[in-house]
Amino acid sequence: MLSKRVIFYRLYLVMNIAFIWVLFSLLFLYNIVTVDKVLLEERTLSLFALAFAIVGFIVAAAEAFFLKDAFRKLPFLLSTLLRMSLTLLLFLVVSVIFLAVYFVFRYDGTFTEFKDKFINEIIHSPSFLILMLDMGLLALISILALEVSDKFGPGGVRNFLRGRYNQPRKENRIFLFLDMNDSTAIAEHIGHEQYFKMLKVFFSDITEPILNHGGHIYQYVGDEIVLSWRNDEKGKQNCLNCVRDAWLVFEKRAGKYKAAFGYAPSFKAGIHAGDVTAGYIGIIKKDLVYSGDILNTTARIRSKCHTLGHSFVVSESFLQEYENKNDFSFEEIGAIELKGKQQKVKLFSFHFPGFAEPVSA
């Protein structure tokens, strides 16, 4: 079942796609004008735009909440063809409903007259073929828009279109490296296929706290996920809240995991903050990459969790200029030598109500 935050995010995508449908109404009008001007005699642009907005919202919602996941296991080409076919069918159904409403409330003639007029003036007109071609193209654009949004994540498409990272830029960011405990042992016991299914559920369940607290998903690396926020007071609070809420999610759903896989997952996390260089790299496949010592140090901090006997460890750099600690308590571990670092890094563990140490692996 989708969380409220995921539902709101998908509704945001649906609204954007509906806006694309409104823009497409202009193209459709142009096609009608060039093919069949008579059809526009008693119709206005605002009516077309409103109709396309409503239909676009319905179709995009069906795509985002039902069709998108229904065919996820199929090859992308087959999935796209099936989704386009169902989208066109849904469009026809919605259109028939609209026409029925129009007949009941606005048409003065008989149903037979209305039906004959509809068939002769609409179905048999060149404009209807143009409409179907436009709808097919629009259905494809809607599907691709949802897939691209999944690829880039929240805000990613906007940054890409704006060219925000076309040139390398310096940013001050927080990084959180979070990975599942005992992953190797679990994979050996339940098998790699079951383990992969467990990993998919693990990352799916952690999506809710990430969205709730504005986290940017930077990378998935095996059983590890790398998240990022702007390094400010709000970013620090969101980062810590994300860790807490993720822990609460897995505590709450432990029974579900044990029933399905025989294990209830837990995780460890390392947090660090500082300056990085961000930009797109690659020629035939582009990726947004953060470069800098901050990422290496965060990875080292996360790898020290087991050795230090703490599940959640943060650096002194992260705690600088952070005043509003709310329900979190921090205990100084000390200056620790990290692999590849010439100077020791002062580390702290952090806790919140209900959480108990130690990490098992």
Query: Each residue of 176-226: pLDDT tens digit?
Result: 999 999 888 999 999 989 999 999 999 989 988 998 888 998 888 888 999
b/e per residue 73-91 (b: at least 16 CB within 10 A):
eeeeeebbeebbebbbebb
Q: Find tokens 């947004």 and name the residue.
A: 288
Q: What is the mean pLDDT of residues 320-337?
A: 83
pLDDT at 360: 47
User: Amino acid letter at 194?
Assistant: Q
Confidence of residue 153 (pLDDT cuts 50, 70, 90): low
pLDDT at 156: 67
More confident residue, 173 or 159: 173
More confident residue, 154 or 256: 256
pLDDT at 42: 52
Provide the CATH number for the domain formed by 165-351 in this structure. 3.30.70.1230
Q: What 3-state class would DSSP assign to 178?
A: strand
pLDDT at 260: 92
More confident residue, 302 or 340: 302
Digit-coded pLDDT (tens) for 19-57: 877 777 776 666 655 555 554 555 566 666 777 777 778
Digit-coded pLDDT (tens) for 240-277: 999 999 999 999 999 999 999 999 999 999 999 999 99
pLDDT at 58: 79
Digit-coded pLDDT (tens) for 276-313: 999 888 777 777 888 889 999 999 999 888 888 899 99
Digit-coded pLDDT (tens) for 94-127: 777 776 776 677 667 777 877 777 777 667 766 6
pLDDT at 96: 73
Q: How far is 202 from 205, CA to CA, in rounded Å?
A: 5
Given a cut of 50, whether residue 361 has pLDDT beyond it is no
Question: What token pair was written down for 307?
Answer: 């050795």
pLDDT at 63: 77
pLDDT at 195: 92
Given a cut of 50, whether residue 359 has pLDDT beyond it is no
Beta pairing partners, 79:
none
Given a cut of 60, whether residue 355 has pLDDT beyond it is yes
pLDDT at 276: 93
More confident residue, 54 or 231: 231
- For 21, 98, 103, 106, 115, the CA distances from 110, given in Å and listed in that order, are 33, 17, 9, 12, 9
Most confident of 10-14, 278-282, 328-332, 351-355: 328-332
Nearest to residue 101, comparing CAs of 55, 61, 57? 55
- Measured in degrees and rounded to the nearest 5, phi and psi for residue 75 equal -55, 145
- How do the domains of the chain map onto residue ranges? 4-152, 165-351
Given a cut of 60, whether residue 358 has pLDDT beyond it is no
- For 239, 253, 268, the CA distances from 223, given in Å and listed in that order, are 19, 18, 11
